[in-house]
Amino acid sequence: MHDFNPGLDNGLFWTVPVPTNSVNVGASGKASLVVNNLVMEDYFNIVNALKDGAVSGTNPATVSFQIHWAQGGKRINVRDPATGMAGEFVKNSATMSWSVASPAGVIYQSGPEKTSASIASQVGQERNGVFFR
Amino acid sequence: MNLGNQGSSFGHAHFWQRAALSRRNFLGAAGGALAAALSLPAVVRAASDTLPNPIPGGTDLFSLLGLGPGPIFHLFLPGLSPEMSTITDFNGFLGAAEILGSWSGGPVTPPAGSQFDADMRFMAGQYIGGDGRHRQGVFAFV
């Protein structure tokens, strides 16, 4: 059993900085996120992951993935005072491929990106916190 | 990513429930490392002393997973809130996607119909760091 995620640093939930060239955003919702060899941890199971490894420790792993959001789709405007966010988004579709490697050489990988199925996706501009207006 | 032989009905409350364990669980047998050594390229270190702050509020994932009440984790699930960012004081581009697909690897052959289930997001733009300074950055919810 394996559970890979980047941990809970600074209270951020499974959110990590990535190189600035990892993201490209084009017109009408087209975008990509491509990350190679991101250091993560294998938490083995979700409970251990949510407790940041306090139950059974972690093992290192590296993850590479690419996601492409397609151009076009329904445009929506969102304003949610309850959470303090607003944004303009394009509801589109996305595809993904990934691989995970442990230092011992165990590799897991997805099928080809074109075989993945988009359940829901969106790309747009958001402002929250002090930028919410 | 969650790997399993789950269905594909949409709804993000369903997402974690469907995942049964989590969206990143890899249901493979332990042990049996590949004999061939793997040469890993240079590693991108996910570290920063200027991280943003998490969004206020969030989701009790322990309760959502049927494990009883627990702490609030600072994220909202698609379908339950329009807030897909995990960082606050943010002004920039955001992308989010839930994607299903096939997978393979590890020491065992995945059961027929197995698939991964990934909720992936990026936030790219201006934010206020924990040090109170305005910064530019790119973050991935992985």
> What is this model's ipTM?
0.93
Question: Which residue among B26, B100, B126 places its CB closest to the CB of A4?
Answer: B26
Give the model confidence (pLDDT) of A26-61 as tens digits.
999 999 999 999 998 888 888 888 888 899 998 899
pTM for the predicted model, two decimal places: 0.82
CA of B47, closest CA in chain A: separation in Å?
7
3 state SS for chain A: CEEEECCCHHHCCCEEECCHHHEEECHHHCEEEEEEEEEEEECCCHHHHHCCCCCCCCEEEEEEEEEEECCCCEEEEEEECCCCEEEEEEECCEEEEEEEECCCCCEEEECCHHHCEEEEEEEEEEEEHHHCC
Question: Which residue among B1, B57, B142 places its CB closest to the CB of A16?
Answer: B142
Contact B141 A83 (CB under 8 A): no
At B23 the three-state DSSP class reads coil
- List CB contacts of B127: < 8 A, sequence separation 6 or more: B52, B87, B89, B90, B91, B92, B134, B135, B136, B137
The full set of domain ranges for chain A reads 4-131
By DSSP bridging, strand A59-69 and strand A94-101 are antiparallel
**Taking a contact as any Cβ pair under 8 Å apart, which residues of chain B between 19 and 38 contact chain A?**
21-22, 24-28, 30, 32-34, 36-38
Average pLDDT over residues B28-32: 24
Question: What pLDDT is stored for residue A2 in this prediction?
Answer: 64
As a whole number of angstroms, the distance between CA B27 and CA B21 comes to 10
Dump strand ranges (E) for chain B. 2-4, 25-26, 90-101, 103-105, 115-128, 134-141
Question: What pLDDT is stored for residue A5 in this prediction?
Answer: 73
- Both tokens assigned to B129: 């760091």
Give the model confidence (pLDDT) of A88-128 as tens digits.
999 999 999 999 998 888 888 999 999 999 999 999 999 99
Question: What pLDDT is stored for residue B113 in this prediction?
Answer: 76
pLDDT band of residue B57 (cuts 50, 70, 90) is very high
pLDDT band of residue B114 (cuts 50, 70, 90) is confident
Contact A63 B43 (CB under 8 A): no
As a whole number of angstroms, the distance between CA B21 and CA A3 comes to 9
By DSSP bridging, strand A2-5 and strand B25-26 are antiparallel
Question: What pLDDT is stored for residue B112 in this prediction?
Answer: 76
Give the model confidence (pLDDT) of B31-40 as tens digits.
222 222 222 2
Q: Are A40 and A52 in contact (CB under 8 A)?
A: no
Alpha helices in chain B (DSSP H): 12-19, 61-64
Question: What pLDDT is stored for residue B48 in this prediction?
Answer: 53
As a whole number of angstroms, the distance between CA B138 and CA A38 comes to 14
Question: What pLDDT is stored for residue B106 in this prediction?
Answer: 78
